[in-house]
Amino acid sequence: MNHDLLDQELKKEKNLHLRPIIIFFAVIFIGILFKTLHWPGSSIIIITSTAGLLAFSVNCLIFITDKKVLSISITILGVVWTLFIIGGMLFNQGHPFNINGLLIYLIVFAIYSITYYFIFRKKYAL
């Protein structure tokens, strides 16, 4: 009975992993808590964690064949957040973030995207 199981090749699972999403949301929550308490460093925590979350969800949409509603909704929220940052920089006198915050966001997003690209490419070979 188990002889057939040994002869079959195991397929790599291509599903969404929740651990990075939970970690990024926890860091975002800590950044929001810091911002509420007016502690320093809250903006950089929020910028880096939202950029990482968006990079992870975009790479999940690219590499994982089983598209989940969670990944799609996080990507849509990330794009809306990016447009909100750009709109605040251009039309709202730098609220929530100014040009420096946008540059940091884009740099961190690029670093996370490249990192996740190589991780997902190695793990889920197209």
pLDDT at residue 118, as a whole number: 92
Nearest alpha-carbon partner for 47 in 122, 124, 92, 112: 112
According to the model, what pLDDT value does residue 15 have? 57
How many domains, the chain?
1
Would you say residue 48 lies in a domain? yes
Q: Is residue 59 part of a domain?
A: yes
What is the reported pLDDT for 123? Answer: 80
Residue 44: give the domain boundaries. 18-123
Q: How far apart are CA 14 and CA 20, in angstroms?
A: 15
Is residue 34 in some structural domain?
Answer: yes
With respect to residue 8, please indicate whether it lies within any of the assigned structural domains. Answer: no
What pLDDT, on a 0 to 100 scale, did the predictor assign at position 7?
Answer: 55
Prediction pTM value:
0.81
Residue type, 116: Y
Q: Please report whether residue 119 resides in a domain.
A: yes
- Looking at residue 55, its pLDDT comes to 95
Residue with tokens 């794009």: 79
Cα–Cα distance measured from residue 111 to residue 104, given in angstroms and rounded to the nearest whole number: 11
Q: Is 44 left (phi over 0), alpha (psi -120 to 50) or beta?
A: alpha
Residue 2 lies in a domain: no
Q: Does 65 map to a domain? A: yes
Each residue's pLDDT expressed in tens, for the chain with a length of 126 residues:
555 555 556 555 555 678 899 999 999 999 999 999 999 999 999 999 999 999 999 998 888 877 788 889 999 999 999 999 999 989 988 888 888 999 999 999 999 999 999 988 888 765
In a domain, 49, yes or no: yes
